[in-house]
Structure 1
Amino acid sequence: MKNILITFDSTNYAIQCEAVLKEKGIKGQIMPTPREITKSCGISIRVDYEEIENIKGLINDGKIKVKMLYSFGEERIFEPIL
């Protein structure tokens, strides 16, 4: 199953994003940011890949501020998508 990992420049952006996702009914799970991706904010949010269009819409509408989006599966190979 494919997932999206949302990374942030700050913990505040991660917390704001979590609140927006809950408000929109999008299930997300906070997790530590893998060190191989970035050493900035230590908090990321994982969501199901099927939510990609909803996430992009929230970014484009300025509802959430992200550093990067990555797709990944069970093998945990992170591929940038934004």
Structure 2
Amino acid sequence: MEDWLVMAFDSTQQALRAEMLLEYAEVEIDLCPTPKEITAGCALSIQFPQQFLTVVKDVVAREQVEIRGIYMRRETGEYDNISL
């Protein structure tokens, strides 16, 4: 999945809440295991296409979803945190 970003969470409750809100906002998402390279308190993450970043940030801010961060995977397999 080229150009997809990963949003990580500290709780399963917030991950499932974000899933519902983003589906309602018609963002293409995929619930997935949190990559081991990302330290987070929750085993679930949400992947989404980079083109939806602005919409995702807006939903997270407006609905006060608690997230660990949004990450972009580098070619090396490591993840960079994208500042909100």
Settle same-fold status: TM greater than 0.5. yes
d(CA) in 2 for partners of 1:18 and 1:51? 14
Offset from partner CA, 1:23-56 (integer Å, 9 cap, x none): 1101110111112211410000000000110111
Indicate if the aligned counterparts of 2:73 and 2:80 stay in contact, CA closer than 8 A. Answer: yes
Equivalent-residue separation in structure 2 for 1:59 and 1:76 (angstroms): 26
- Cα RMSD (Å): 1.7
Identity of aligned residues (%): 24
Structure 2 residue 15 is the aligned partner of structure 1 residue 17:
no
Counterpart for residue 57 of structure 1? 58
| Unaligned stretches of 5+ residues in structure 1 | none
* Corresponding residue number in structure 1 for 2:49: 48
72-81 or 60-69: bigger deviation: 72-81
Give the letter aligned to residue 41 of structure 1. Answer: C
The TM-score, its normalising length taken from structure 2, stands at 0.85
Deviation of 1:19 after TM superposition, in Å, equals 0.4
Of residues 21-30 and 56-65 in structure 1, the stretch that sits farther from structure 2 once superposed is: 56-65
Please tell me whether the aligned partners of residues 21 and 28 of structure 1 are also in contact (alpha carbons under 8 angstroms). Answer: yes
